[in-house]
Amino acid sequence: MSAAVPLLPHSGHGHRAAIGFNPRALARISAMALRYRWRMLFAVVATALAATTQIVIPQLIGTAVDQVRGLLAAVADNEAAVQVGLADTAYLLLGAAVLRGTFTMSQNYLGEAVGHLIAYDLRLSYYARLQRLSFSYHDRVHTGELMTRGILDIEGVRMWVSTGLLRAVLLSILLFGGAWMLFTVDKPLALVALSFVPLVALGATIGRLKLRALWHTLQEELGVLTRIMEENLGGIRVVRAFAAQAFEMMRFDVVSSRALAVVHRRIVVFVASVTTMTFVFFLSMGLVLWVGGVRVIEGHITIGQLTAMLAFMMIIQQPVRQIAWLVNSIARTSTCGSRLFEVLDLEPDIRDRPGAHPLQSNVEVLRFENVSFSYHAGGEGPPALVDVSFQVARGEVVGIVGPPGSGKSTIAHLIPRYYDVSAGRITVDGTDLRDVTLESLRRHVSVVQQDTFLFTSAVDANVAYGDPWADRSAIRQATGAAQLHNYIAQLPEEYGTLVGERGVSLSGGQRQRLAIARSVLPHSSIIVFDDSTAAIDAGTERRIRQELAALTRDRATIIIAHRLSSLMHADRILFLERGRVVESGSHDELIALGGRYAALHALQTRAPQDAP
């Protein structure tokens, strides 16, 4: 079991750390918020008014204290006036509190609303970009990584308006407005009252940045856990077949333990930071009481003014700590935004050329002209195809056979331009594939893939995926040709029966037949069967071939297979080896040639007692 430990996915910490602070990402996200200018304007105004009312409240409390003190010392002739003044102050205090609550509620609502609108825009843009990016990009990037960016990173960006922009406005007004208020009362005491601000802000920022770094580490570990669980659930039958539950638990437990250790470190940092900041704050408040008491005795300030300072300190205690949250928001938004824009700014390798035109009519001839191709950038590594030339005309069937790794599936990938050729060209009716639009090309080409993918949806929805407007008769004709209609008719809800995740409720042969039906339903000019009957028995395959002959007689058909019985009827057969066409001809011609094809045919048709 120890040899299998490298199966643990790499957490990829270096990728997040490499992005760093990116002011351009912050500017772009802020510009997205400004698209909703009226909401943002009202949110900023509500934030400013909420901060202003918070500054007014301590002053009203101080005034009330002085009025109560005056009431206690008042003589009969001015007692009524003091009571009226105290009542007025109480009403003002109540009104300020109500206004503060109203403005704070408006600020929070509008900030969250704009944040969710930004997330909505980013989510659509991100998903649309993933649909456009080329196969070569998806070959390099793990699906779990893309899902993390599309969920967690968008969530991190969403909070920028409320925890970044609006919080910056709130803190600026509270600190500068409050400082001005304190200094107009008593400068020495104001310095003492504000002494905790830089200490708490610095301590909170350091603690928050440590927590932020640990949060990144935790997210990476949780991402690894997600990938392990995704792979385990996707391959649960393989796990059970090899009785590998203990090994899978070991993999999961190793990463879970790492995540738990990170959580413990976060708790230690959080508790230490909060404890230190609380101690500094109450120490500062004790100094204000001491110094303020002396200033009251000396007659420099009143008890009400001292009370106002203490009340203001209580009010700004939490906002000062939120300076750390502001720094954290800047760091989080910068990182998450950078990761998102890294994908959003990508241009697909395979895209329409300037001036590309759509295919207007059915394709008459598909031609490979000295095509070479390598999956490795810069030509590094062995080529998949070398100088391949052939053509297939409308109504013609071309078979392709060869050993594994000979380049058969690569031909299937190049026809709809999943990849571009490295040398040579592929043409349709004399026009280079790169000079026609991708949308029209892929509308004219249907590929039945080796790896059959089915959606968690009804049978008819899976069959009609390539032609959503197809009527029921066309769907039944396609499934009938794929020898699947009789099976579907026996299902509880027939064509409305739900197919399980990735078609798990169907056998391998049934999935392949459904994929065949899905590909023949659109009336494509070119249809490619990429080893699409490997899981189907010979008798069913023969019946499928007979049915498809009528449906594909006006199409250019390419059949890629390992089993020669699947393509013996083809008009021409190509034998590929190491990316090159080494033999070409009809079945009879290749048998007569006595080469590789003939040897493979003899091997597949040899009686069991004659096998070596």
CA distance 437 to 10: 39
CA distance 481 to 498: 21
Q: Where are the domains of the chain?
A: 23-344, 365-607
Strand bridging mode 445-448 / 526-530: parallel
Q: Could you give the C-alpha distances from 212 to 209, 218, 327, in angstroms and in order?
A: 5, 10, 10
Give me the CATH topology for the region 23-344. Answer: ABC transporter transmembrane region fold (1.20.1560)
Give the per-residue pLDDT at 2. Answer: 36
DSSP per position, 155-216: HHHHTHIIIIIHHHHHHHHHHHHHHHHHHHH-HHHHHHHTTHHHHHHHHHHHHHHHHHHHHH
Query: Which amino acid is residue 123, in one-letter code?
Result: R
The pLDDT tens digits of the residues spanning 549-592 come to 767 778 888 888 887 877 888 888 899 888 888 888 888 888 88
Residue with tokens 């004659």: 610
CA distance 311 to 288: 11
Give the per-residue pLDDT at 93. Answer: 77
CA distance 255 to 253: 6
Task: Tell which residue, 528, 311, 576, has the closest CA to residue 415.
Answer: 528
Task: Tell which residue, 94, 89, 161, has the closest CA to residue 121.
Answer: 161
Domain 365-607 bears CATH identifier 3.40.50.300: yes
pLDDT < 50: residue spans in the chain: 1-19, 75-76, 607-612
Burial category of 256 from C-beta neighbours within 10 Å (exposed 0-12, middle 13-18, buried 19 and up):
middle
Asked whether 436 and 359 are in contact (CB, 8 A), the reply is yes
The pLDDT tens digits of the residues spanning 12-28 come to 444 443 445 678 888 88
Give the per-residue pLDDT at 555. Answer: 82
Give the per-residue pLDDT at 163. Answer: 83
Give the per-residue pLDDT at 534. Answer: 61
Name the phi and psi angles at 235, rounded to 5.
-115, 35
Give the per-residue pLDDT at 16. Answer: 41
Q: Could you give the C-alpha distances from 278 to 197, 201, 206, 212, 275, in angstroms and in order?
A: 12, 12, 15, 21, 5
Give the per-residue pLDDT at 8. Answer: 47
The pLDDT tens digits of the residues spanning 183-223 come to 887 788 778 877 777 777 777 777 777 777 777 787 777 77
CA distance 471 to 373: 40
Give the per-residue pLDDT at 504. Answer: 57
